[in-house]
């Protein structure tokens, strides 16, 4: 747990940790390195957040730097904007991504526009973290995936990690970034996997997609909670001798079009996987770019595997029928391989 | 203005109660029933027979007393915490069970129960309550009244504010009940707001404000009756702050030991409404061992039957996921529906 | 103006009217036909709306049915939801589409979900009208095109008319519809064109795209304010003997995929035009569907002509460089015709 | 609490003023300058030399008096209506002109002018003001104070409420000025809220509330001084309601004849701040024909120079549209930039 994390720049052998612990570590490091970093949100202080992402951080850094807010998301994001304008580097936690909605005016009217509308005078080096997505039987309206809404807003960066190691390095990069970054954390991944994560401060570059498994048959484009799903599909396919390339987009905005196009030019086939509702999901943007820039390399339709065009179902016993799984990904792979 | 209270925590040494014996008994039954359901729900949850559940132990009087003030045709607008209000207002226990089992049938409340669904996104129900109240005025001479619930934490959201203002501007026949239970998950009221008298917000909007001991069923009921009467008479909305305490965890997934002194919680639990109501009614001779036993037996029977109904609910058809998106299924839903094996 | 509109079901020869007048006529008819219809929003009452869409309607139908609201968009949409739950048929005006943002929680958490989360018990027959888009030198943040955000939300319908005649028939259909409909009105079109519009009540089916100009060389997919731009491009191309097919999507959600695919299967080429920022714009969804369902018919990349990935510029003298025009559409056409 | 007023509309029969002669003259200059700019801006707009403009005639004292209370290092947070506050706080006239000409340079305020940009989406500036105020406390022993403006209409938005509550909870050194000018476009305050005393909202939040005659420069200045001092001393936020009147149209595109009785407006215009200030200062002998003439000459000169600067601004390069989206241009912006001829 965070309180015990040794802060060191050397990469020592350490026990594997979960993604939520990695996030905690990243925030602890950032708070330690830079007095301008503040962390706040509903229940992040004493309680350490509903997922314990900020566990023990208030004890360690004090109530002035890690604090609870009233129950008001527009207020939280708006406060953060003001703090950033005043020279701080705020990290705001919104309890669930579906509760970003009350803050969307602050987000769409200001967070992404401030630099543009002040012609560069003010930047907003702010991070907004929010758990997103399904797969763990959360209550109704706690499993939304609103990344498409954010990635359509100019001036915002949208980052979605898929492992403990990536989460830590990407979050540290997001905190360092001069622009506002949404950091969406797949609830499903918070504790599903443990990984030995480098100690100390390290960053991964934002704005880069990453080939997590190379292959030649089909490119699978995914991010966040869908990466493990695609990896599983790739393993299954590999047993049948089909090598799928899994591309973790990681940063949706600004999008790393080059890596996407390069992959699809090599494989000639693309499957795009996301758990948000299908229509207007962010994967449509990926498809559109491929269809504009790499169509002559395509040997098959671009197929999407997505959540359905319905709200994420609160009917926990059947939610796995909504959220894409390896089986559905493999069915799509077969479709593009005929 | 002082906090309205008729029966002190001791349940003794109180003056005349402005309720009939029949009402007092009705109030007792409803409160005992609410407590009974909550206790069993927590047990069922532990047994894996309910999903995540939001207990309301200690808040029964705040919910039941206010809801009892509603009359035929009036509407209830609850948050996730208001199962007590819901079952008092007529939601069958089986329905409540199915809801907390995350079964689709649990979301389909019967047409004759005039309540909106449980609300998850905090405070968003507030403007709906206003619109619903205004709608009644368009359709009936004697308007229906809307009783809407929100928590202390919920008052921080913009929707709370906008709704209060709209209600005042349109003189909507609506009663807003703030259950000030001291906590919003781990955040105490003192960190939620600087002035913890939520009722002090009323004047600013030109709304009638009342603060009651939310653990005194007599006070909540009487105050709500007055507020409902005002609303019905066209005198506008009321903000009713019911002072209570969240004895239980936020939900069955929550561990309050992480953020509050459970000794203090135990102390506050002593003020809870059922003990005091029982003591008062016994001292008045309204309540007897016999009545208590009878009520208990009825509740056991009702729950048994409700569980039977709930257990008999059909398995969930995955295709239901994409039903009810539009009145008429759109082409994208149909595609999904077929993929999900819909027939 | 509305106060003078003769309500009649016969289609008589009438003076041409603007789109904003057609909208006024539609609302007058709806208010007259059905006592459950209510109209409200900021300044819609006495003033008749900042664009005069509700001109004279309060005088005619009274303050109980046509009324001003306080300055609070979440409250406006939330009030409408409550009215609909109580059996009314609300029409809410939001002053500019960019001011829908404060209402996005009400919209995304409730308006599109109510039927689903009450398993059909409650429907929300509500219309939310909002002027959108640029081209007329509006002040900063008054020219947003947020249709992609709305069309991604399950349960919402999104309709965007492109002429007076269509506006009236579509708005009347939207008011009759049992589901919530966003009716986005291109500010640029409010008064740019006059058309003889049928008198009386008539409706156009929602959920249908419409070929406004048939052609065989390239399909141009567009909606709202971009339809006139594409028509202009088609006229220019026609002079050179190239027949562009202009498809007005009209309803973005639910999307009429069949008409889109049918067109592109005939022409083999697609250009998609929208004025919202490019990345994650609704046109990406159109591209994704074509790339999934009609790729073997494509003879060229799918090209998008869009607003840039920047906020709509408040610098009025250069805003025409942001908003797509016929010249940019024709450049895209040339690109797909090589 | 009565409305704070030192100088009545007549500008006569007032008691001792708690400002020095120097301050009174400074206040006069700033007010006259604000009026001068507004009048010329409206003329320039009619000549096509400004774009759509939001006049503030009649609201000069509400803006200037409160802004004069700020000290070095303090911040101003304006809505679109606050050009008077902005130029009082140091925004060069040339900058204001470029802004109202929709020239990109108009949006780039000089680094040494501690103000946020003009805000268009109503009330959204409010939480920013709170955060900015809290940020100061993190960086300085003597915190900077933030003065944030909003209109009567703006108080209806959720952001107003959330910001007031946050400010109170964090005891932020911020002063919120509500310019209650009677109108939000066509909507009068009476339709905007049921209780038109906006100051009555303060108590509910645990915020200090003050109502002043917003057309009395002495009152706005003195009240703001006190509020700023409170904020600086760590005593928390103030809600300052300045009663004034929007004499002019909402913007130069608006026609108030469509929704209000312009006779009534004319009557209200008689209460405007400059006439009364001038009368008061003349009766005190602080203001003379000579001083007035000198001020006028200075203003003419200042505006002339400002127009020269503004007119000399370079033509807008279309590629600027996609600049400043990110600190470092992203690939999508670069593509656009090149398409727009950027070099
Ligand atoms: C918009 C929104 N933000 C956050 C949450 C997460 N959340 C659920 S309950 C809760 C606390 C609510 O406190 P209060 O209003 O006092 O009601 P109580 O739980 O005490 O009944 C929070 C923060 C939510 N459901 N909706
Ligand atoms: C969120 C939002 N909704 C609507 C508008 C359109 N609008 C611009 S000014 C205005 C009225 C504002 O009134 P008030 O707050 O009293 O300020 P005043 O104009 O009187 O200075 C409205 C509705 C807007 N700019 N932002
Ligand atoms: Mg609470
Ligand atoms: Mg005003």
User: Which positions in chain C touch A307 (Cβ < 8 Å)?
Assistant: none
Sequence-separated (6 or more) residues with CB below 8 Å from residue C92? C40, C41, C76, C77, C79, C80, C126, C127, C128, C129
D337 has pLDDT over 60:
yes
Task: Answer yes or no: do D204 and B195 touch at CB < 8 A.
Answer: yes
Nearest residue of chain C to residue D117 (CA atoms)? C140
B158–A71 CB contact, under 8 Å: no
Closest Cα partner for D182 from D135, D243, D118?
Answer: D243
Residue A137 is among the residues annotated as catalytic for this protein: no
For a pLDDT cut of 70, what percent of chain B falls above it?
100
| Ligand 1 binding pocket includes A99 (Cβ within 6 Å) | yes
Q: What is the rounded distance in angstroms from the CA atom of residue C224 to the CA atom of residue C240?
A: 26
pLDDT tier at D6 (50, 70, 90 boundaries)?
Answer: very high
From chain B, the residues in CB contact with A137 under 8 A are 51-52, 102
Residue B317 forms contact with C (CB below 8 Å) = no
Interface of A with B in 193-252 (CB under 8 A): none
Instruction: Answer whether C303 sits within 8 Å of A280, measured CB to CB.
Output: no
Q: Could you give the CA distance from residue D85 to residue D74 in angstroms, rounded to a whole number? A: 13
Kind of pairing between the strands at A210-213 and A244-248: antiparallel
In the structure encoding, which two tokens stand for residue C134, read together? Answer: 């640029």
Q: Which atom of ligand 2 is nearest to the CA of C43?
A: 23
Q: Are B132 and C119 in contact (CB < 8 Å)?
A: no
The atom number, within ligand 2, closest to the CA of D121 reads: 26
Nearest CA among A259, A263, A272, A255 for reference residue A220: A272
Residues 6+ apart with CB under 8 A from A80: A40, A90, A92, A126, A128, D131
pTM for this prediction: 0.97
Q: In a mutagenesis test of the C interface, which of A284, A290, A296 is the best target, namely the one with the most C β-carbons within 10 Å? A: A284
Nearest to B321 among A46, A72, A310 (CB): A310
Name chain C contacts of A277, Cβ cutoff 8 Å.
Answer: 152-154
D5 touches chain A (CB under 8 A): no
pLDDT digits (tens, 9 = 90+) for D188-202: 999 999 999 999 999
- pLDDT recorded at residue C5: 36
Q: How large a percentage of chain D has pLDDT more than 70?
A: 100
Average pLDDT, 10 consecutive residues per value, chain C (338 residues): 38 85 98 98 98 98 98 98 98 98 98 98 98 96 98 98 98 98 98 96 98 98 98 98 98 98 98 98 98 98 98 96 98 96
> How many CA atoms lie within 13 Å of B40's alpha carbon, on the beta-carbon side?
21
Chains that touch C (3 or more CB pairs under 8 A): A, B, D
Report how far ligand 3's centroid is from the alpha carbon of D124 (Å). Answer: 27
From B46, B108, B142, B259, the catalytic residue: B259
Residues with CB under 5 A from ligand 4 (ion): D 151-152, 181, 183-184
Give the Cα separation of A184 and A205 in Å (integer): 16
Cβ–Cβ below 8 Å for A254 and D330 = yes
pLDDT digits (tens, 9 = 90+) for C216-261: 999 999 999 999 999 999 999 999 999 999 999 999 999 999 999 9
- The answer to whether residue C98 neighbours chain D at the CB level (below 8 Å) is yes
- In angstroms, the separation between the Cα of residue A231 and the nearest Cα of chain C is 23
* pLDDT for the residue D343: 83
pLDDT at site A8: 45
**Quick one: tokens of D135?**
């940020």
pLDDT in tens, C8-48: 444 556 899 999 999 999 999 999 999 999 999 999 999 99
Residue B13: exposed, middle, or buried by beta-carbon count in 10 A (0-12, 13-18, 19+)?
exposed
Question: Which uninterrupted H or E stretch holds D11?
Answer: none
Q: Cα(D180) to centroid of ligand 4, in Å?
A: 6
Q: What's the complex ipTM?
A: 0.98
CB contact under 8 A, A318 and B332: no
Residue of C nearest to A312 (CA): C154
Interchain CB distance below 8 Å, D132 and A118 = no
d(CA B172, CA B130): 6
Q: Is B55 helix (H, G, I), strand (E, B) or coil?
A: coil
Assess whether pLDDT exceeds 60 at residue A4.
no
Q: Which of D108, D142, D259, D324 is catalytic?
A: D259
Question: Is A79's Cβ below 8 Å from some Cβ in D?
Answer: yes
In terms of Cα–Cα distance, which of D254, D121, B204 is closest to C71?
Answer: D121
Contacts of B124 in chain C (CB under 8 A): 78, 105-106, 109-110
* Token pair recorded at residue B273: 């409404």
**pLDDT 10s digits, D207-259:** 999 999 999 999 999 999 999 999 999 999 999 999 999 999 999 999 999 99
Q: Which ligand is nearest to the CA of D57?
A: 2
* Torsion angle defined by CA atoms of residues D212, D217, D218 and D223, in that order, rounded to the nearest 10 degrees: 40
Instruction: Tell me if B321 and A308 make a contact (CB, 8 A cut-off).
Output: yes
Q: d(Cα A37, Cα A31) in Å, to the nearest integer?
A: 5
Kindly give the number of the ligand 1 atom that is closest to the alpha carbon of B80.
21
End-to-end CA distance of chain D: 62
CA-closest residue to ligand 2 atom 17: D151
**Distance separating alpha carbons of residues A324 and A327, to the nearest angstrom:** 8
pLDDT tens profile B125-158: 999 999 999 999 999 999 999 999 999 999 999 9
| Structure confidence at residue C338 (pLDDT) | 86
Percent of chain C scoring above 90 in pLDDT: 96
- State the Cα–Cα distance between residues C274 and B307, nearest whole angstrom: 54
**E strands, B141-261, where?**
146-151, 174-180, 183-184, 187-188, 208-213, 238-243
**Mean pLDDT for chain A?**
96
Pair B150, A69: CB distance under 8 Å: no
- Whether cis (ω within 30° of 0) applies to the bond prior to C254 is yes
> Helices D217-232 and D273-284: crossing angle, nearest 10°?
100
Nearest residue of chain D to residue B167 (CA atoms): D194
Ligand 2 lining (C-beta closer than 6 Å): C 42, 71, 73, 95, 99, 102; D 81, 120-122, 151-154, 181, 183-185, 246, 250
DSSP state of A5: P
In chain A, residues with a C-beta closer than 8 Å to the C-beta of B184 are 42, 71
Determine contact: B107 vs chain A, CB below 8 A: yes
Give the tens place of pLDDT for each residue, A71-113.
999 999 999 999 999 999 999 999 999 999 999 999 999 999 9
Minimum-distance CB partner of C43 among D52, D187, D333: D187
Tokens 């560069």 map to which residue? A120
Token output for A196 = 């030995």
Ligand 1 lined by B181 (C-beta under 6 Å): yes
Q: Which chain A residues contact residue B126 at CB under 8 A?
A: none
Q: Which long-range contacts (CB under 8 A, 24 or more apart) does D42-50 make?
A: D42/D248, D42/D252, D44/D97, D45/D100, D45/D252, D46/D252, D49/D101, D50/D97, D50/D100, D50/D101
| Residue B194 forms contact with D (CB below 8 Å) | yes
**Average pLDDT value for chain B:** 97
The candidate with the shortest Cα–Cα distance to B84, out of B131, B126, B147, is B147
pLDDT exceeds cutoff 90 at B343: no
Does the annotation mark B259 as catalytic? yes
SS3 content of chain A, % helix, strand, coil (to 5): 40, 20, 40
Closest of A337, B47, B130, A285 to residue C70, by C-alpha? B130
> D13-52: b or e for each residue (b if 16 or more CB lie within 10 Å)?
ebeebebeeebbbebbbbbbbbbbbbebbbebbeeebbbb
Contact status, residue A74 vs residue A102, Cβ threshold 8 Å = yes
Beta bridge partners of A129: A93, A183
Q: In chain C, which residues have their Cβ closer than 8 Å to the Cβ of B325?
A: 115-116, 154-155
pLDDT of amino acid A45? 98
**Site from C82, C84, C126, C178 to mutate, B interface, most B CB atoms within 10 angstroms:** C82
Q: What distance in Å separates the CA atoms of residue C83 and residue C78, rounded to the nearest whole number?
A: 9
Q: Do C106 and B124 touch (CB under 8 A)?
A: yes
| Pairing between β-strand C181-186 and β-strand A218-222 as defined by DSSP bridges | unpaired
Which of B:225-254 have CB within 8 Å of D?
236
């Amino acid at each position: 747990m965070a309180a015990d994390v040794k802060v060191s720049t050397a990469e020592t052998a350490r026990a594997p940790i979960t993604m939520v612990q990695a996030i905690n570590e990243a925030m602890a490091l950032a708070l330690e390195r830079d007095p301008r970093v503040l962390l706040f949100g509903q229940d992040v202080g004493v309680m350490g957040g509903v997922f314990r992402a900020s566990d023990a951080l208030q004890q360690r850094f004090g109530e002035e730097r890690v604090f609870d807010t009233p129950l008001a998301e527009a207020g939280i994001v708006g406060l953060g904007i003001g703090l950033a304008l005043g020279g701080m580097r705020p990290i705001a936690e919104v309890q669930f991504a579906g509760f970003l909605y009350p803050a969307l005016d602050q987000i769409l009217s200001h967070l992404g526009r401030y630099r543009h509308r002040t012609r560069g005078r003010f930047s907003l080096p702010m991070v907004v973290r929010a758990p997103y997505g399904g797969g763990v039987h959360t209550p109704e309206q706690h499993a939304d995936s609103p990344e498409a809404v954010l990635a359509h807003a100019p001036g915002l960066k949208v980052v979605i990690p898929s492992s403990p190691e990536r989460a830590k390095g990407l979050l540290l990069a997001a905190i360092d970034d001069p622009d506002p970054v949404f950091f969406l954390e797949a609830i499903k991944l918070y504790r599903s996997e443990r990984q030995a994560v480098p100690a100390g401060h390290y960053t991964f570059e934002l704005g880069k997609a990453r080939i997590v498994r190379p292959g030649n048959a089909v490119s699978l484009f995914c991010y966040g909670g869908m990466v493990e799903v695609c990896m599983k599909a790739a393993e299954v396919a590999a047993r049948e001798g089909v090598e799928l390339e899994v591309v973790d987009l990681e940063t949706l905005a600004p999008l790393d079009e080059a890596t996407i196009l390069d992959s699809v030019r090599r494989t000639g086939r693309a499957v795009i996987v996301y758990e948000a509702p299908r229509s207007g999901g962010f994967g449509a943007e990926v498809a559109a770019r491929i269809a504009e820039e790499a169509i002559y390399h395509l040997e098959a339709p671009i197929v999407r595997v997505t959540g359905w065009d319905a709200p994420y179902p609160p009917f926990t016993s059947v939610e796995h029928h909504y959220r894409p799984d390896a089986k559905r990904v493999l069915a799509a792979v077969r479709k593009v391989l005929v | 203005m002082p906090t309205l209270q008729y029966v002190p925590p001791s349940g003794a040494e109180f003056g005349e109660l402005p309720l009939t014996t029949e009402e007092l008994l009705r109030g007792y039954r409803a409160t005992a029933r609410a407590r009974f359901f909550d206790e069993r729900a927590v047990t069922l949850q532990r047994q894996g027979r309910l999903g995540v559940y939001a207990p309301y132990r200690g808040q029964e009087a705040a919910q039941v007393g206010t809801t009892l003030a509603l009359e035929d045709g009036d509407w209830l607008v609850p948050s996730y915490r208001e199962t007590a209000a819901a079952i008092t207002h007529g939601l069958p226990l089986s329905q409540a069970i199915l809801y907390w089992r995350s079964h689709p049938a649990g979301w389909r409340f019967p047409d004759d129960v005039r309540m909106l669904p449980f609300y998850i996104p905090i405070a968003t129900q507030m403007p709906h309550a206003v619109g619903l109240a205004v709608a009644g005025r368009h359709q009936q001479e004697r308007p229906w009244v809307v009783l809407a619930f929100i928590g202390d934490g919920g008052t921080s959201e913009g929707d709370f504010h906008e709704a209060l203002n709209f209600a005042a501007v349109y003189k909507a026949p609506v009663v807003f009940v703030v259950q000030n239970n001291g906590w919003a998950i781990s955040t105490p009221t003192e960190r939620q707001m600087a002035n913890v008298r939520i009722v002090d917000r009323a004047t600013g909007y030109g709304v009638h404000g009342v603060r009651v001991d939310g653990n005194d069923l007599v006070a909540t009921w009487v105050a709500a009756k007055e507020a409902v009467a005002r609303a019905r008479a066209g005198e506008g909305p009321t903000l009713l702050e019911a002072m209570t305490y969240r004895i239980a965890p936020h939900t069955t997934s929550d561990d309050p030991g992480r953020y509050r002194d459970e000794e203090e919680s135990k102390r506050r639990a002593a003020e809870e409404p059922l003990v005091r109501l029982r003591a008062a009614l016994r001292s008045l001779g309204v309540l007897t061992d016999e009545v208590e036993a009878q009520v208990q037996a009825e509740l056991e029977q009702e729950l048994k039957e409700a569980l039977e109904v709930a257990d008999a609910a059909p398995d969930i058809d995955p295709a239901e996921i994409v039903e009810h998106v539009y009145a008429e299924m759109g082409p994208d839903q149909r595609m999904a529906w077929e993929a999900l094996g819909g027939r």
